[in-house]
Every structure is written in structure tokens, then in C-alpha cells.
């Protein structure tokens, strides 16, 4: 394992992700929704920034890019080619199957539409890291916001489900406790879910992030990854929108 990853809280409930490549000392951030915490994290990691990875165009994932780029002009900004018109200016536009160099490592690009049509994820396969933005959360999943989103989101979750179980899902938000309340309403007897919900409560009480989660944990507990088919997924996604 050469790439290390760390959640950095920003805005009210977002995470940006700080990555460091061990062999080369290269540093990357993913989804800087706010510049100040990203800059502080980069300074603490040694003051060098090589790469800015963007999963999708929403402001809470990209608003810090301009200031970061001004501060660290050598950083390359990487995002989806099909969303180039609504992303900050890209130095590298990518699509499904492309790869992004990061120090001695490489991230594979997965096109995982559903939350938005152009949403991508970055997969550091040898390090079992998936930077998955707003597609899947601990005990939850993103909201389909564009045409065809529900079907696309379901297909994207099926793809994630086939990754190795020890994949760490580095998602964009701290939604675990509220996701747990909904998940428990669907699947109250699920022991893995109850354990994850309890662990999340303890972590939050201690002021710590509940993510990354692992795919194995989510396959056992996440009602969206556990939906039997598209219809069940659709019903759960719809119910979650109205759940209080
Ligand atoms: Zn989003
Ligand atoms: Fe978001």
C-alpha cells in the first residue's frame, strides 16, 4: 500500500479527501468544497499539492478549487470530460477507463452516473481506495438529481458492489447518523446495521468522522446496496426522500 487517505471536514457536513503517495511524497486533494481547510491540510502534509481530483460539479465539491490552484499553481485539476462545461477549468479531462497519475500510483476512473450524469469516481485499486463523491455514503446513497438518475444510480451501485470487499469508500458527506435512522426503519433486525449505527453514534460523539466505510460493511448494512432489484431500490430511494 502506497497511498494514504484522510478525511478532512469542510463546510457543514462535507468531506474533502487528502491523499499522500508514500514513495514520492506527492499530495492530492479530492473534492475541495472549501479552500481554507484544504490549504491547511496540504500545508500540514508538507506544503506541496500535485493534484486536485473532482468527482462532480456541485459547489460543495468544487468551490475551493480556484483558491487552491492560486495557492498551488503546479496542482493539476482533473474531472470528467463530459462535465467540463460545468466544472472549474480542467488540466486533464477524463472518462470511464482512463487513469490519472499520482506520484508512483495511478487512479482508475469509473463513470458512475446517478447523482449527476457526469459523476465519476477515482479508484486506487492496489490501495483499496475509492473516492466516490456523492454516489454512495455510509448506510446511504446519493440523491438522483438528473433525468434517468434512479436507474443510473442503481447500476452504479451494482458496479461498486462488485469491487473487492475491503475497498474503502471515501464519500463526500457525513450523513451516517441520519442515514442510520432511515436504514433501521427498513431493516430493524440487521445486526451489522445496528452495529454500524452504534459505532457511528460513538464516533460522532467523539467528534470523529464515520468514514471511510468499507464495501464489506456496506454490503452487510446499507439498504441501497442491499436492495434486491431496481424496484426495491426505487421504493427505498423514494421513501428516503420523505423520511423524517
Ligand atoms: Zn453532489
Ligand atoms: Fe455533495
The DSSP secondary-structure symbol of 146 reads: S
Q: How far is the CA of 207 from the centre of ligand 1 (A)?
A: 23
The residue with cell 466516490 is 132
Where would I find the beta strands (DSSP E) of the chain? 3-10, 14-21, 27-30, 51-53, 76-80, 92-94, 99-102, 105-111, 120-124, 129-133, 136-137, 140-141, 168-171, 213-214
Cα 150 to chain centroid distance, Å, stands at 18
Q: Give pLDDT, residue 244.
A: 83
Average pLDDT, the chain: 98
In total, the chain counts a number of residues equal to 244
Query: Alpha-carbon distance 59 to 73, whole Å?
Result: 21
Q: Give the pLDDT confidence of 174-212 residue by residue, as tens digits.
A: 999 999 999 999 999 999 999 999 999 999 999 999 999
Query: Alpha-carbon distance 53 to 216, whole Å?
Result: 25
Contact (Cβ atoms closer than 8 angstroms) between residue 145 and residue 107: no
For 3-241, which CATH class?
alpha beta
List the catalytic residue out of 50, 56, 111, 119.
56
* pTM listed for this prediction: 0.98
Q: How far is the CA of 14 from the centre of ligand 2 (A)?
A: 7
pLDDT at 1 over 80: no
Q: Give the pLDDT confidence of 65-119 residue by residue, as tens digits.
A: 999 999 999 999 999 999 999 999 999 999 999 999 999 999 999 999 999 999 9
Domain ranges of the chain: 3-241
Amino acid at each position: 500500500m502506497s497511498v494514504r487517505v484522510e478525511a478532512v471536514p469542510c463546510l457543514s457536513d462535507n468531506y474533502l479527501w487528502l491523499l499522500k503517495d508514500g514513495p514520492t511524497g506527492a499530495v492530492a486533494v479530492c473534492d475541495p468544497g472549501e479552500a481554507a481547510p484544504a490549504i491547511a491540510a496540504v500545508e500540514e502534509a508538507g506544503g506541496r499539492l500535485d493534484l486536485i481530483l473532482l468527482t462532480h460539479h456541485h459547489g460543495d465539491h468544487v468551490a475551493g478549487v480556484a483558491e487552491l490552484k492560486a495557492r498551488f499553481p503546479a496542482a493539476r485539476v482533473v474531472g470528467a470530460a463530459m462535465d467540463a462545461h460545468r466544472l472549474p477549468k480542467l488540466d486533464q479531462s477524463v472518462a470511464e477507463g482512463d487513469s490519472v497519475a499520482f506520484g508512483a500510483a495511478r487512479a482508475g476512473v469509473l463513470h458512475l452516473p446517478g447523482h449527476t450524469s457526469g459523476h465519476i469516481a477515482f479508484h486506487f485499486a492496489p490501495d483499496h481506495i475509492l473516492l466516490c463523491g456523492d454516489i454512495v455514503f455510509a448506510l446511504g446513497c446519493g440523491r438522483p438529481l438528473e433525468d434517468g438518475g434512479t436507474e443510473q444510480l442503481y447500476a452504479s451501485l451494482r458496479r461498486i458492489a462488485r469491487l473487492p470487499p475491503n475497498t474503502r469508500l471515501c464519500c463526500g458527506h457525513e450523513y451516517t447518523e441520519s442515514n442510520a435512522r432511515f436504514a433501521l426503519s427498513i431493516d430493524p433486525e440487521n445486526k451489522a446495521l445496528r452495529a454500524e449505527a452504534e459505532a457511528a453514534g460513538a464516533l460522532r460523539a467523539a467528534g470523529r468522522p464515520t468514514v471511510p466505510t468499507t464495501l464489506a460493511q456496506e454490503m452487510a448494512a446499507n439498504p441501497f446496496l442491499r436492495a434486491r432489484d431496481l424496484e426495491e431500490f426505487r421504493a427505498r430511494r423514494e421513501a428516503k426522500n420523505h423520511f423524517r
